[in-house]
Amino acid sequence: MTDPQPVSRALAKQLSTFTANWATVDPISTQTDYRRAVSALAWIRRVRLDIQESFAEMKAAANAARASILGQEKKWINKAKPLEQVLNDLIVSYDHQRAAAAQADARAALETPATTALVAYSELATEPEGYHTRRTVVPVVSDKLALVQAVANGEVDLEALTVNLSYLRTTAQEQGDLCDLPGVTVTHKYTVVTHKETTRAK
């Protein structure tokens, strides 16, 4: 299968030449250097936007096809999953009943003649054929504050908590210079927005 080439050869050549010319970038020391860097940034950013636009139609078609495939997959999986879950729960329930009965008979074996109790126990303790049960641990946080306090007290590793960067960013933006979150240092990332970004690279 041939790779798609939505980017024109002319633009590809321009980009290659431009990046080669800027392969070595020295610190800005004069106003001329500054204006040259701003112009270069505007051009390369416009090129980047043009490349994204060139691929947009192909990506939209690919995403639509993927969404259709995933939708069909989900549709048919959802037809099978309910019965799969019912059968799974029936088997697990039966296994638990067998295990409980086996434990009860094992305790009874200590109090009754071995020949009587061990026969019943051996039947219940027989491994099931054709399948095995895999136990998966599923933690459920019922008291978030208690968990946070346990981490603060050193009873639980800090890794148990995940920092919500989206919340912190929103809070810092809303509170501005007055933002004072314990344990959080607010820094800034700067992106140059050129006034020529709306001009398409030629």
pTM: 0.53
Query: Range with the lowest mean pLDDT among 2-6, 48-52, 56-60, 176-180?
Result: 2-6
Count of other CB atoms within 10 angstroms of residue 105: 20
pLDDT in tens, 45-83: 999 998 998 899 899 999 999 999 999 999 999 999 999
Least confident span in 50-64, 99-113, 147-161: 99-113
Confidence at residue 125, expressed as pLDDT on a 0 to 100 scale? 54
Distance CA 186, CA 167 (A): 13
Q: How many CB atoms lie within 10 A of CB 44?
A: 16
103 or 2: which leads in pLDDT: 103
- Rounded to whole angstroms, the Cα distance separating 163 from 61 reads 36
Mean of pLDDT over the chain: 84
* pLDDT confidence of residue 1: 53
Average pLDDT over residues 10-16: 89
Q: Do residues 195 and 46 lie in contact, with contact meaning Cβ atoms separated by under 8 Å? A: no
3-state DSSP call for residue 36?
Answer: helix
Tell me how far apart the alpha carbons of residues 44 and 50 are, in angstroms, rounded to a whole number.
10
Q: Are 133 and 88 in contact (CB under 8 A)?
A: no
CA 83, CA 126: separation in Å to the nearest integer? 26
Domain ranges (residues) in the chain: 9-138, 139-187
**Other C-beta atoms within 10 Å of 95: how many?**
14
